[in-house]
Amino acid sequence: MMIELRHLRTLVALRDTGSLVDAAERLFLTQSALSHQLKDLEDRLECTLFVRKTRPPRFTSTGRRLLKLADEMIPMVRTAERDIVRLAGGEAGRLHICIECHSCFQWLIPAIDRYRSHWSEVELDLTAGFNFEPLPALVRGDLDLVITSDPVDVPGIRYVPLFRYEAMLAVSRDHEWAGKPYIEPLELIHETLITYPVDRNRLDVFTRFLDPADVDPAAVRTAELTPMMVQLVASGRGVACLPNWALTEYLEKQTIVVLKLGATGIWGTLFAAIREDQYDSPFMEDFIQTSIETCFNNLSDIKTVDAVGGKSL
Amino acid sequence: MMIELRHLRTLVALRDTGSLVDAAERLFLTQSALSHQLKDLEDRLECTLFVRKTRPPRFTSTGRRLLKLADEMIPMVRTAERDIVRLAGGEAGRLHICIECHSCFQWLIPAIDRYRSHWSEVELDLTAGFNFEPLPALVRGDLDLVITSDPVDVPGIRYVPLFRYEAMLAVSRDHEWAGKPYIEPLELIHETLITYPVDRNRLDVFTRFLDPADVDPAAVRTAELTPMMVQLVASGRGVACLPNWALTEYLEKQTIVVLKLGATGIWGTLFAAIREDQYDSPFMEDFIQTSIETCFNNLSDIKTVDAVGGKSL
DNA sequence: CCAACTCCATGAATAAAATTCATACATTAG
DNA sequence: CTAATGTATGAATTTTATTCATGGAGTTGG
C-alpha cells in the first residue's frame, strides 16, 4: 500500500488549514501537487479520504483514521529527529533570548516550555529588550537570540524567518469604521494611535503605512502590554496597530474589530536574529524549529516564509 | 529532514537480514538502491547509521534510534492499513483453512492468532488435509484456503505465493555425511528415507531430486509429525528431507545437521491456494498478508517471491 | 443574473527522486 | 593469492513527484 509520511503530513496540513491552497502553501508545494498526491493515495487505497465540496473539507472515516495515524506518528518522528540531533551535537549550550515585540510572549512561553523538556542542559533566559538595544548585545554575546520583525543588516548576525503576519488596525466595535474592510492613511489623521513604547521608526504602522503617505495621527499614546492596548481600543480611547495573530483572542470575544491597513494590507515577517557562529548548532536549530512549530500550532492566520537568507525548514 | 517510512522499512530489513544484499531482496529492490538510499539518509541526517565493515552490520546509536522509531511506527501503519481495508470491505467472512504440510503449524498458528484479533467476525477453521484431497474441496467451497507447495493448475483456483524455502536433508550429527555441504542422489541409495505419509509424487525429494536421477532409497518409512521425524533422524534411523525453516530449531539444539540436495540445492515455494472469487476480498487479502509477515518474522532463511501469477505484496 | 473570485481537478510538461546497471573496491575464507 | 561475498559509486534510466497552464464548479456581491 505504501503509505508514506508525506501523505500524512499533507492530510494534517489540509485539516489544519482547511483548504488545499493553504495546505500547499504551508508545505511549500503547489495546490496541484497536493491534489495529485491525495488522488494517488485515494486510488491506491481504493477509497476517498475527504469530501471536497464542503468547506472546510469533511474527512471520511478512512481519512480520519489516517489523520489519527498521522497525529500519533508525526510527533514520534519529530522526537526521534530531535534525539538524533542531540546525539550528534553537544547537549549543552546557552540560549539567552530577547524579545522586542511584547505580543510574542503568547507563543514564546509555550515554545520555551516545549523546548526545555527536550534540552534540559541548555541554559535558558528570556528578557524583554524594550529599554536597550538588543542587537549590539547579541553581537557582543550577551544575548544569543533576538526576536524581531525589523531585520538590520549587521555583520555576523543572521535572521532566520519564523513566519509572516499581517499588521491590522484594531478599533472598537462601536467605532464608525467597524465593518469597513480597510482604511487609508489619511483617515487616521483625526485618531489617537496607541502603540508599544518603542521608537516610531521601528513600528510598521509608521514606517510602512503613515510615513510613506506623510500622515501623522492626531495623537500617539503608548502602552506596554497588548491586553492594555486592547482595553484602551475597546473603550474608544484610540486605535492600535497589532499583528493579526495577537488579536484573534480579542476578536473572538468581540470587544474589538480589525481592519486592513490599505487595500492590500501590510505584511511583516518575524525573525529570529542569531549569531552566524550558532547558526548550525543543534540546540539552536531545534529551538527555532520548535518555535516555528509552536507558532503554527497556536497562532491563526500566519503564513510560512520560504527562507530569507536562511535555511529552509 | 524528511525521514520517510521507506527509510525505516529499509533499516528494519537490514537489521532482520543482516546484509544489504538480503535486505534488498526482501524489499524487492537492488542492493545498489539500498546503498544509495541509506547514504542519502545519512547525508541528510549528517551522521552514520551503521558500520558496514562488520557482519552483521553494527548500528550506531543514531541507527538504533531510528530502528526504535521504525519498530513503533511500522506496526501502527500496518494496523491503520488493516482498519482501512476493514472500513472498505465487509468485516465478516469464512476462512476454512487446510494444510498439506505438517510443518506449517509452526507459522500458521501464530498467523491465525494475529489475524483473529483483527477480524473477529471471520469464521476461522483449520484442518489437516492428509487423508483427503483438499483441492476439490476448495473448488467445491468446503474449504477457502489451502496451504501447499505443489500448485496444480485448476480453473477457478489461484495460487498466491507466500515464500520460497530450501528443501534440506536432515541427518544425524553422527552421520558420516555430517559436515558435507551437499549430497548427490546416488548417495541415498543405501539410506532409509523418512517422509511424511503422503503420495511420493507430492514430495520434492522424489519429484525433483531422486526421480530425475532415477534413484530409490534403500527404504522409505513415514512419520506424521516433524518432531517425530527429527527424532528418528537424530537416532540414526534414517534421513529426512524437510524445509529448511522447519529444521532451524533442531539445528540450534545440534541434534541433527543438514545438507543441501545437490550442489545448488532444491528450492520450493509455499502457496496459498484460494478461489478466484475470494482473491480480492479484504479479509482474505489481509489473511495472506498477515501470514507472509508472520512467516518472515518467525522463520529463518526463507526468501520472498515477487509474484507468480498473483499480486505482489 | 452576471462578473469576479476562489477553490479544486486534470492533462501535459518538467523537475526531481529513486532505482538500476555496470563496475570497482573491500573484506573474508580457503 | 584467489575466489567468493558484500558494499560503494558514477552514470544511465526509470519512476515518481511536482509544476504549469487551464477549465470547471461553486460563491459572492453588485
Instruction: Kindly report, residue by residue over B75-98, the tens digit of the pLDDT.
Output: 999 999 999 988 877 777 899 999
Specify the amino acid at residue B247.
Answer: L
Over range B88-113, report the average pLDDT: 87
CATH class of domain segment(s) B164-267: alpha beta
CATH of domain A5-86: 1.10.10.10
B313: pLDDT strictly greater than 80: no
Angle of helix A105-118 relative to helix A61-88, nearest 10 degrees, comes to: 70
Nearest neighbour of B69 by CB, restricted to A47, A80, A87: A80
Chain B CB within 8 Å of residue A214 CB: no
The Cα B254–Cα B248 span in angstroms is: 10
Over range B200-228, report the average pLDDT: 89
B57: pLDDT strictly greater than 80: yes
For domain A92-163+268-298, the CATH superfamily is Periplasmic binding protein-like II (3.40.190.10)
B282: pLDDT strictly greater than 50: yes
The Cα A5–Cα A12 span in angstroms is: 11
Chain B CB within 8 Å of residue A46 CB: yes
Whether nucleic acid strand C comes within 7 Å of the CB of A39, the answer is yes
pLDDT band at B68; cut points 50, 70, 90: very high
Hey, which of A165-174, B68-77, B100-109, B262-271 has the most confident mean pLDDT? B68-77
Specify the amino acid at residue A239.
Answer: V
Nearest CA in chain B to A83: B65
The predicted-structure confidence for B154-202, as pLDDT tens digits, reads as follows 999 999 999 999 999 999 988 888 878 888 888 889 999 999 888 888 8
At residue A1, the pLDDT reads 57
Share of chain B above pLDDT 90, in %: 50
B226: pLDDT strictly greater than 50: yes
Name the grid cell of B94: 469464512
Chain A CB within 8 Å of residue B81 CB: yes
Q: Which residue, A163, A164, A160, is CA-closest to A276?
A: A160
At residue A97, the pLDDT reads 94
At residue B71, the pLDDT reads 97
Nearest CA in chain B to A1: B81
Whether nucleic acid strand C comes within 7 Å of the CB of B29, the answer is yes
Q: Establish how many alpha carbons lie within 13 A of residue A169's alpha carbon, considering only the half-sphere containing its beta carbon.
A: 29
Query: For residue B214, how many other CB atoms are within 10 A of its CB?
Result: 8
B107: pLDDT strictly greater than 80: yes
Nearest neighbour of B6 by CB, restricted to A4, A47, A76: A4
Chain B CB within 8 Å of residue A45 CB: yes
The Cα B298–Cα B136 span in angstroms is: 31
At residue B1, the pLDDT reads 57
At residue A308, the pLDDT reads 41
CA of residue B54 to C1' of nucleotide C29, angstroms: 15
Inter-chain contact B80–A62, Cβ cutoff 8 Å? no
What does pLDDT average to over chain B? 89
Task: List Cβ neighbours of A202 (8 Å cut-off, separation of 6 or more).
Answer: A100, A150
Chain A CB within 8 Å of residue B88 CB: yes
With beta carbons under 8 A apart, name residues in chain B contacting A4. Answer: 4-6
pLDDT band at A9; cut points 50, 70, 90: very high
Nearest neighbour of A88 by CB, restricted to B47, B77, B80: B47
Pairing of strands B192-195, B219-222: parallel
At residue B309, the pLDDT reads 39
What does pLDDT average to over chain A? 89
A64: pLDDT strictly greater than 60: yes
Chain A CB within 8 Å of residue B312 CB: no
Inter-chain contact B76–A65, Cβ cutoff 8 Å? no
What is the distance in angstroms between the Cα of A67 and the nearest Cα belonging to chain B? 10
What DSSP string runs through A61-120?
Answer: HHHHHHHHHHHHHHHHHHHHHHHHHHHHS-S-EEEEEEES-GGGHHHHHHHHHHHHHH-T
The predicted-structure confidence for A133-189, as pLDDT tens digits, reads as follows 889 999 998 899 999 988 889 999 999 999 999 999 999 988 888 877 888 888 888
Domain map of chain A by residue range? 5-86, 92-163+268-298, 164-267
Pairing of strands A50-51, A58-59: antiparallel
CATH of domain B93-163+269-298: 3.40.190.10
Examine domains B93-163+269-298 and B164-267 and report if their fold is the same. Answer: yes
B69: pLDDT strictly greater than 50: yes
Whether nucleic acid strand C comes within 7 Å of the CB of A48, the answer is no
The predicted-structure confidence for A85-140, as pLDDT tens digits, reads as follows 888 777 788 999 999 887 888 899 999 999 999 898 899 999 887 778 889 999 99
Inter-chain contact A84–B62, Cβ cutoff 8 Å? yes
At residue B90, the pLDDT reads 73
Q: Which of A163-172, A249-258, A278-287, B232-241 has the lowest mean pLDDT?
A: A249-258
Over range A298-311, report the average pLDDT: 69
At residue A313, the pLDDT reads 36
Residues A193, A220 contacting (CB under 8 angstroms): yes
